[in-house]
Structure 1
Amino acid sequence: MSQATVLVDISDGVATLTLNRPDRMNAFNAAMHAEMRDALTEVKTSGARCCVLTGAGRAFCTGQDLADRVRKEGEPAPDLGASLEANYNRLIRLLKDLDMPVLAAVNGIAAGAGANLALACDIVIAARSAGFIQSFCKVGLIPDSGGTWVLPRLVGTARATALMMLGDKVSAEQAEAWGMIWRCVDDEALMPTALGMARHLAAQPTLGLALTRKALAASASNSLDDQLDLERDLQAIAGRSEDYREGVAAFMEKRPPRFQGR
């Protein structure tokens, strides 16, 4: 039996997905894409209230496994647009569709689509030895997996352009200084920090956090008036939640709240 390319662990309200092709630096092939889609579908219906994405071994993810793209002489060029639509675009959309906070625990190099997969998460924590590389320019491609959308919004157009055209590695410390990620931690502290934060988030009013994800996702393209209308509509949903009622009751009774994510 072949080894699973994505490991799924669900405990304490936290779903941890581990990319598991360490011999290939967790580069994606067709099998990993299929297993990742299945894993995200499982997480969505599992009752988990926070998701953590990390990698096995010395890399987080180095994007596409180019060994799967070697073309024999005489074969037609692959349709990479179709491949993106079937695989990476579906992956990013499934990730964004989760009704819970999503954390990336970047344990090593995150390159190409692997870097943009990490940056698509809500909160990114990276080990000090980790690094981020927009490596597409090294093989004649453009950044994908949402990279051209998210990276300029994180670090600005000037930095994003240079990173994508030069393919320079950004250290975890530099990524934190630039606001590309939330936090850089010592290697041995990565998973304890990420899982501790995930357990904390899983105990919070996760319906409200999911609605916050929706508001933030829309803010980049909305006008202020559109965003005010969206905030109104989402706040109406949050205001009818059990979590809001519990939060107010706990505040009035001066006790810790017991949120259920409903």
Structure 2
Amino acid sequence: MQAGQPFLDVEVQEHVAVVRLNRPERRNALSEPGVPGEFEALVDRLNQDMEVRVAILTGAGTAFSSGGNVKTMLARNGPGSGPVAAVPGRYASGIQRVTRALFRLNVPVIAAINGAATGAGLDLACMCDMRIAARSARLAESFIRLGIVPGDGGAWVLPRLIGDARAREMAFTGDAIDADTALAWGLVSQVVDDAGLMPAAMALAARVARNAPYQLRFTKQLFRDCRDMDLDRALEMSGLYQAMSHWTEDHAEGVAAALDKRMPVFKGH
């Protein structure tokens, strides 16, 4: 890997942004200093680019992401270095910036999990909207095995996906689960052969990308906003997003296409 080469490799094709974590020789560890800034820049770019309707996040090489760099932890050069009182700030200015960036991403994103997704790597996949796993995938909330805790928000996101009991089992044991278990637990929605991972992710992305771009973003924002609201507030937000949708040309196109019994052609108007 050449010095200065970006951690995130981004390619946009047919309304789909394919984002690859690009440090295969380090199993796509997330602990390099420039990683949070790259994720923030990526989110800003995708939020502003209305040509992008969906994103796919995957790892280069044989792993999705190993999370933190264990060698860096051993050398006391990571976010846990220095005085105890400084550690929360190091996390806030480091890996937690990735969490916050992905939370404000308005474009639906698919995690295509190739190989290991451990620790912060698993949590990164959990921050995506949809997850597809290769049959070789192994997923672990493995912080406890290193004598640390999920410092990136894993304790917030994982129980929301698989329920409290199973999330605690994964966090308290640190044990890895295979792709079929992840499917049974609802952590992923598909398991495919390794060679079919990206074709399956692209096929799902195409099904998403054919829909109205503004309404895709509105729907994602609505799911995000309603996560912690009571019903009355959620209904209020639903009405606001619906009001914005009804007066778009894409809504008129969708209705016309339904009446004509054809596929709609959405243009983002």
Query: Fold-level match, TM-score > 0.5?
Result: yes
**Residue type of the alignment partner of 2:6:** A
2:131 is equivalent to residue 124 of structure 1: yes
Report deviation, 1:99. Answer: 2.5
Paired position in structure 1 for 2:34: 31
Distance 2:220 2:47 in 1: 15
Alignment of 1:105-254 (within 5 A): 105-254=112-261
Report deviation, 1:250. Answer: 1.2
**Residue type of the alignment partner of 2:250:** D
Report deviation, 1:119. Answer: 0.8
Q: Which runs of 5+ in 1 are unaligned?
A: none
**Residue type of the alignment partner of 2:199:** P
2:76 is equivalent to residue 71 of structure 1: yes
Q: 1:76 to 1:97 in 2, by over 3 A?
A: closer
Distance 1:102 1:261 in 2: 18
Distance 1:86 1:121 in 2: 21
SS at match of 2:211: coil
Contact 2:66/2:116, CA 8 A, preserved across alignment: yes
Report deviation, 1:241. Answer: 2.2
Distance 1:178 1:85 in 2: 30
SS at match of 2:107: coil
Distance 2:46 2:237 in 1: 27
TM-score where L is the length of structure 1: 0.92
Contact 2:53/2:216, CA 8 A, preserved across alignment: no
Contact 1:17/1:39, CA 8 A, preserved across alignment: no
Identical aligned pairs, as a percentage?
37
Report deviation, 1:257. Answer: 0.4
Contact 1:111/1:133, CA 8 A, preserved across alignment: yes
Aligned residues: 260
Distance 1:108 1:159 in 2: 21
My pick for the range that moved more, 35-44 or 2-11, is: 35-44
TM-score where L is the length of structure 2: 0.90
Please list the CA deviations of residues 101-157 of structure 1 after superposition, one character each: whole Å capped at 9, or x if unmatched. Answer: 111100110011110110111110010110111111112222133311221122211
Report deviation, 1:34. Answer: 2.9
CA RMSD of aligned residues (A): 1.8
Q: Which runs of 5+ in 2 are unaligned?
A: none
Report deviation, 1:220. Answer: 3.0
Distance 2:82 2:255 in 1: 63
SS at match of 1:60: strand
Distance 1:40 1:120 in 2: 13
2:58 is equivalent to residue 58 of structure 1: no
Distance 1:128 1:77 in 2: 42
